[in-house]
Structure 1
Amino acid sequence: MNPVVMHTVARLMAPVLLLVSLVLAVRGHDIPGGGFVGGLMAATAFALLMVAFGRPAARKQLRVHPTRLAAAGLLVALFSGVPPMMKGRPFLSGIWGRLPVPGTDGLKVGTPQLFDLGIYLVVLGTAMCFILGMARGEDTTAPEMGG
Structure 2
Amino acid sequence: MFSAFSRVFFVLMLAVSLYVLYRGHNEPGGGFVGGLIAASGFAILALAQGIDAARSALRLQPMVVIGIGVLAAAVSGLPGLLLEDSYLTHQWAILGNFHLGTTLLFDVGVYLVVLGGILSLVLRFYEGL
TM class by smaller structure? over 0.9
Deviation at 1:137, TM superposition (A): 2.0
| Equivalent runs, 1:1-147 vs 2, <5 Å | 5-98=1-94, 105=96, 107-138=98-129
Q: What's the RMSD between the two structures over aligned residues?
A: 1.2
Would you identify which runs of 4 or more consecutive aligned residues in structure 1 move more than 3 Å? none
Q: Distance in 2 between matches of 1:43 and 1:106?
A: 28
The code of the aligned residue for 1:34 comes to: G
TM-score, reference length from structure 1:
0.84
Deviation at 1:8, TM superposition (A): 1.8
The code of the aligned residue for 1:63 comes to: R
Which residue in the other structure is 1:142 paired with?
A: none
Identity %: 41
| Higher helix fraction (1 or 2) | 2
How many residues align? The count is 129
* SS of equivalent to 2:26: coil
Q: Unaligned 5+ residue runs, structure 2? A: none
Q: Bigger radius of gyration, 1 or 2? A: 1
TM-score, reference length from structure 2:
0.95
Q: Distance in 2 between matches of 1:19 and 1:136?
A: 27
Q: Distance in 2 between matches of 1:133 and 1:106?
A: 41
Q: Unaligned 5+ residue runs, structure 1? A: 100-104, 139-147
